[in-house]
């Protein structure tokens, strides 16, 4: 096998990996999104809270969702890659070690956190849409309102 780096092999490897794990990744992100929605609904903003507290809660939830995604994704996407005796299909994939590493890094550090951010936007929209949740606008509208008030 040729061990030189090839963009076309990297693209094929990333496509193969995506087809293999996208269902489990989306299920995991959906569970995290439901958890965020439930947590914010149960910890809903009451009338005595300030906008600073609301912004802090929601930004903390966003950061927590990104961190949870970065922590839990490797075990879901590549469960057999780091074992002492890895799966033969992983070893026999026609790609160099550098291409496999770059594909893993791109998925775990860039693509999955972006998907988690998108799922957080969905969760934030659901939270705002639930009547009685205590949140009257989306997170970035709170941040905009807070920055205008303080300037």
Instruction: Using alpha carbons only, give the angle 31, 36, 38 rounded to the nearest 5 degrees.
Output: 95
pTM score, whole prediction: 0.70
Q: How far apart are CA 131 and CA 139, in angstroms?
A: 16
Average pLDDT, integer, range 88-97: 66
Q: How far apart are CA 18 and CA 15, in angstroms?
A: 5
End-to-end Cα spacing for the chain: 61
Neighbouring residues of 106: CB distance < 8 A, sequence distance ≥ 6: 14
For residue 83, pLDDT over 80 is answered with no
For residue 46, pLDDT over 60 is answered with no
pLDDT in tens, 52-65: 556 677 778 788 88
Per-residue model confidence (pLDDT) at position 72: 80
Where residue 151 falls among pLDDT bands split at 50, 70, 90?
A: low
- Which token pair is 46? 């009451």
Write the CA distances from 79 to 3, 9, 87, integer angstroms.
Answer: 24, 22, 9
Where residue 82 falls among pLDDT bands split at 50, 70, 90?
A: low
Higher pLDDT: 130 or 149? It is 130
Of 68, 63, 76, 53, the C-alpha closest to 142 is: 53
Residue with tokens 């291409």: 99
Per-residue model confidence (pLDDT) at position 91: 57
Higher pLDDT: 95 or 115? It is 115
Contact of 24 with 76, CB cutoff 8 Å? yes
For residue 86, pLDDT over 60 is answered with no
pLDDT in tens, 97-116: 788 888 888 888 888 888 88
Residue with tokens 């912004």: 55
């Amino acid at each position: 096998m040729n061990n030189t780096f090839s963009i076309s092999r990297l693209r094929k490897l990333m496509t193969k990996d995506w087809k293999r794990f996208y269902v489990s990744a989306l299920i995991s992100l959906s569970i995290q999104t439901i958890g965020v929605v439930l947590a914010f609904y149960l910890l809903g903003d009451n009338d005595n809270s300030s906008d600073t507290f609301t912004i802090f809660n929601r930004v903390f939830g966003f950061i927590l969702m990104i961190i949870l995604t970065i922590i839990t994704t490797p075990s879901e996407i590549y469960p057999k890659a780091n074992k002492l005796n890895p799966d033969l299909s992983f070893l026999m994939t026609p790609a160099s070690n550098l291409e496999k590493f770059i594909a893993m890094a791109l998925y775990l550090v860039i693509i999955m956190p972006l998907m988690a951010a998108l799922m957080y936007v969905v969760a934030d929209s659901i939270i705002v849409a639930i009547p009685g949740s205590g949140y009257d606008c989306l997170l970035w509208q709170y941040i905009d309102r807070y920055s205008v008030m303080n300037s």
